[in-house]
Amino acid sequence: MVFHSEFPDVGIVDLALHDAVLGDAERHGDRPALIDGITGETISYAQLAHAVGRVAAGLAEAGVRRGDVVALFSPNSVRYPMAFFGATRAGATVTPVSSLTTPGELAVQLADSGARWLITVSPFLPTARAAAEKLAGEGRELAGIVVLDGAEGHLSLADLLAATGPAPEVDLDPGQDIAVLPYSSGTTGLPKGVMLTHRSIATNLAQTDAVFRPEVGERVLAVLPFFHIYGLAALLHQPLRCGATVVVLPRFDLEQFCRTIQDQRVQSVLAAPPIVLALAKHPVVDRFDLSSVEYLLCAAAPLDGELAETCARRLGLPRILQGYGMTELSPVSHVVSPADPDPSPGSVGRMVPSTELRVTALDGTGADLGPGERGELLIRGPQVMKGYFGRPSDTAATVDADGWLHTGDVGFVDERGYLHIVDRVKELIKYNGYQVAPAELEALLLSHPQIADAAVIGVCDAEGTESPKAFVVRAPGSALTEEEVAAFVAGQVAPYKKVRAVEFLDAVPKSPAGKILRRELREREAAATG
């Protein structure tokens, strides 16, 4: 069967992204749009709108034209949106770059995206230059590198803001022109550029309004990276579009995170599971007054129900909210609304408007399933990506001829219409014909008081039988043994779900968005058994 959103459809939003987000900026005037969570520096809506126009004019004077790809390689800052929206207003496509990228990885993204310009900050300039030199050695030079905080021989943000010409009036086609070209995390396969049009992102913001819309003046903490689609959409686009105030932190440091909530009286926190885990378990949290927080929304990876309850109790919240989406969905398809009085426990919420969902069997038949039945999630709606940049075969393998995006995620819709995520199709462990979800075992492991973090992958023995192996981070001072971990799990699951091997780590490898990098664990396992 096809599941439909219970909310009324929304119309297609045919606006350029910068207009969809900042169209009401002048009306908000002196209201704070952005606050630096460390220094307290404040940028008003009027200042932001003016800066975006000047940056667009400066980039146009430098030679940026409609269709150019501009790579934005910077940590979170109050100047990030000036560069981002200035570039889109100049007609460019922005490809955000991870702050953790290496020169080689940056060179690959620049080459694959066809980027002509690179905007960065001085601490990242050595990486940027090394990547540019690698490109030049391959016969392809960048048109220029802009260093926001200034560096000799490069345009700076101050230079762009000093532009005296008019902001360019670019005749964009919202349905065809690419606003953002984010690259997948690379947790499965090679990173691919995801083509998100102005229309798909702007429409998805309108779709999200039905379940999640910050209030005017609401203080939203932005610690998730803007280079990730979750942080970009949920912490820049949506709050700024609604007149909220975004309190910006450059990275997650638990003590600074808590201090900023306390000092800035932050009302809403959007997070990934590692942040929820820290808030639930770390003793430093008790040193700060976090009573201003009205809700916490977690997305990017599955969140265990018990962990969510522990975190909610500690913060004095009725529940931790969850949402679901992916880069290829611009990015939202489901959210638990802060106003929902009784969401299904553990769910990622209800479908946003103008969206359809199918749950298909994992047995190879692709048969449609009904409520309560687990299968792969297929989603269709105006937020579906235009495709993977330069990869038509990958696009065809992900979005079928009828427009259904095959997410690769396993889940089910309960009788009340709430979606529950179980795991990834490719990450399910097949033990003697039984399917074992790593996320289920990880949630159980995290309930142990002496386990600070955990990840599970499937490993094969000499006979080719796949079974679960747990990678565990002990809590400080713990002397937990492998046998104790295995016995703890065995006492609470069916026999086929038992953990057959345990290895202790200092830290579980994760992406900046909080997703477990199982590929790195598999590579570690292959090297050890090799």
Per residue in 307-319, pLDDT (tens digit) is 999 999 999 999 9
As a whole number of angstroms, the distance between CA 285 and CA 290 comes to 8
What pTM did the predictor assign?
A: 0.86
Supply the pLDDT for residue 305: 85
Give yes or no for residue 325 having a pLDDT over 60: yes
Most confident listed range (16-20, 137-141, 165-169):
16-20
Over residues 71-89, the mean pLDDT reads 98
What the block records as the tokens of 257 is: 């995170």
As a whole number of angstroms, the distance between CA 269 and CA 204 comes to 20
What the block records as the tokens of 396 is: 């065809």
Tell me which of 42-46, 100-104, 206-210, 350-354 is least confident.
100-104
132, 142 Cβ separation under 8 angstroms: yes
Q: Tell me how crowded residue 187 is: count the other CB atoms within 10 A of its CB.
A: 18
Q: Which helix (H) or strand (E) holds 429?
A: strand 429-431
The sheet with strand 375-380 has its strands ordered as: 2-4, 356-360, 375-380, 405-413, 419-424
As a whole number of angstroms, the distance between CA 85 and CA 21 comes to 9
pLDDT in tens, 43-66: 999 999 999 999 999 999 999 999
Higher local confidence (pLDDT), 58 or 301: 58
- At residue 392, what is the residue type? P
Supply the pLDDT for residue 125: 98
CA distances to 32, 33, 40, 44 from 244, in Å = 8, 7, 16, 11
Give yes or no for residue 185 having a pLDDT over 60: no
The fraction of the chain above a pLDDT of 90, given in percent, is: 83
pLDDT class of 330 with cuts at 50, 70, 90: very high
pLDDT class of 514 with cuts at 50, 70, 90: confident
Supply the pLDDT for residue 421: 93
Give yes or no for residue 204 having a pLDDT over 60: yes
49, 18 Cβ separation under 8 angstroms: no
Supply the pLDDT for residue 496: 79
Report the residue count for the chain: 530
Largest CA distance in the chain: 71
Over residues 76-85, the mean pLDDT reads 98
Give yes or no for residue 186 having a pLDDT over 50: no
Q: Tell me how crowded residue 41 is: count the other CB atoms within 10 A of its CB.
A: 13
Helix then strand then coil, % of the chain, to nearest 5:
35, 25, 40
Q: Tell me the pLDDT of the chain averaged across its residues.
A: 94
Give yes or no for residue 28 having a pLDDT over 70: yes
Supply the pLDDT for residue 515: 82
What the block records as the tokens of 143 is: 């048109």
Supply the pLDDT for residue 189: 56
Nearest to 253 by CA among 38, 511, 471, 17: 38
pLDDT in tens, 243-294: 999 999 999 999 999 999 999 999 999 998 889 999 999 999 999 999 999 9
Tell me which of 104-108, 248-252, 341-345, 502-506 is least confident.
104-108
Over residues 82-93, the mean pLDDT reads 98
Supply the pLDDT for residue 187: 33
Which structural domains are found in the chain, ordered by start? Answer: 17-171 (3.40.50.980), 428-529 (3.30.300.30)
DSSP state of 92: P
Give yes or no for residue 188 having a pLDDT over 70: no
Terminal CA-to-CA distance of the chain, rounded, Å? 46
Supply the pLDDT for residue 364: 82
User: Three-class SS of residue 484?
Assistant: helix
Apex 460 CA angle, 456 and 463, nearest 5: 155
Give yes or no for residue 433 having a pLDDT over 70: no
